[in-house]
Amino acid sequence: MSEKNKALVARIPLEAFNQGKLEVIDEVIADNSVEHSPVPPGMPTGKEGLKALIKALRSAFPDYKVTIDLQVAEGDLVVQRATTTGTMKGEFAGMPPSGKKATWEAIHITRVKDGKIVEHWAVQDQLGMLQQLGFSPTPEAAAAR
């Protein structure tokens, strides 16, 4: 079951985010799935919110790519450590295109029940991403002030 769950959960980053195959969301996420991580301001919740987020990210970062660095499964849980890269060429969450490339890491924990994703938690290095894109000062730049 663990390998089957890992393959199911991997479809979200590899197919939905990387390839823009939004139909994957309906195929693998349960209608009553619970997202425990905050969504960007102005984004709806649920499956439609995830589709909107993917569209927005792929529009702002045309070369957006998630790589699964590590994936572990036990029981009904799948944990992924992922690295995302992208060059910001469009607006995202009210931020203008910076033209800069960023790389950030995330940890995802996903619970699977009856062949569908029913819960998801994530911790992402959003500060690191914002610093690389030029929207938040780095510690070095802040110290130089």
What pLDDT was estimated at residue 140? 77
Work out the number of other CB atoms within 10 angstroms of the CB of residue 108.
21
**The CATH number of domain 2-143, selected from 3.10.450.50, 3.40.50.1820, 3.40.50.300, 2.60.120.200:** 3.10.450.50
* Contact criterion met (CB below 8 Å) for 83 and 69: yes
**Alpha-helix runs per DSSP H in the chain:** 2-11, 18-19, 23-28, 46-60, 126-133, 139-143
Cα–Cα dist 11/28, whole Å: 8
What pLDDT was estimated at residue 29? 98
Cα–Cα dist 138/88, whole Å: 18
What pLDDT was estimated at residue 142? 66
Low-confidence ranges of the chain (pLDDT < 70): 1, 142, 145
pLDDT digits (tens, 9 = 90+) for 60-95: 999 999 999 999 999 999 999 999 999 999 999 889
Amino acid at 70: L
